Amino acid sequence: MEILYLLIPVSVVLVFLIGAVFWWSVRSGQFDDMEGPGYRILMDDDKAKPD
């Protein structure tokens, strides 16, 4: 059971880490547009201009 002494603090750290990552991802607008990026990947933007 000694492993608990490691696991419990790790779980606390993980909670804060996950919280922080989620906060950052919301802040940086990753949840603002849930559809656009999915389509963007399908668009060809590296084609040369038709001459």
Catalog residues that contact other proteins under the rule CB under 8 A: 1, 4-5, 8-9, 11-12, 15, 19, 23
The least distance separating other proteins from the CB of residue 4, rounded to whole angstroms, comes to: 6
The least distance separating other proteins from the CB of residue 9, rounded to whole angstroms, comes to: 7
16 residue type, one letter = F
| Closer residue to other proteins, CB minimum distance, 8 or 40 | 8
The least distance separating other proteins from the CB of residue 37, rounded to whole angstroms, comes to: 21
Q: DSSP characters for the chain?
A: -THHHHHHHHHHHHHHHHHHHHHHHHHTTTTT-SSHHHHHTTS---PPPP-
